[in-house]
Amino acid sequence: MEFLILMKLMDEGVGDTPSENKIILETNIIPSIEMLAQMEAEGKVRGGFFEGQRSAAFIMSMPSEDALDKALSELPCANIFGIEAIPLESLGDALNRDRRILNDLK
């Protein structure tokens, strides 16, 4: 199954001081990017962060919604990013669905 993943940094992900931001980068952001890069190398993730922003869009390939939930919850940044996951329907499946609907309308 493929999913569109939209991530946006929440207010909790921005520190009030440089020291807080250093901790957030060290403990949440960089480890998460490293994990996503590993998933990319394994062919499970395509996409990336929007340039100059702390938001991202990915296509994630996972065997199930449970596997997706597990993968996303294991990201260290899961507590500071709002994450939306949208199941994707393949173009072939969408075409077949719409052709069936059209046939039913005839």
Backbone φ and ψ of 55, nearest 5°: -145, 160
For the chain, the domains span: 2-105
pLDDT for 13:
83
Q: Which pLDDT score, from 0 to 100, does residue 102 have?
A: 94
Per-residue pLDDT of 48-72, as tens digits, reads 999 988 899 999 999 999 999 999 9
Q: Regarding the domain with residue range 2-105, which homologous superfamily does it belong to in the CATH classification?
A: Dimeric alpha+beta barrel (3.30.70.1060)
Q: Which residues of the chain have pLDDT under 50?
A: none
Residue 60: its pLDDT value, please? 97
pLDDT, position 99: 94
Ramachandran sector of residue 47 (left: φ over 0; alpha: ψ -120 to 50; beta: rest): left
- Beta strands across the sheet bearing 2-9: 45-49, 55-61, 2-9, 81-87
- pLDDT for the residue 31: 97
> What span, in angstroms and rounded, lies between the C-alpha atoms of 56 and 45?
12
User: What's the burial of 81, exposed, middle or buried (CB within 10 Å: 0-12/13-18/19+)?
Assistant: buried
The H-assigned helical ranges of 1-106 are 18-24, 30-41, 65-73, 91-105
pLDDT at 52: 87
Q: What is the pTM of this model?
A: 0.85
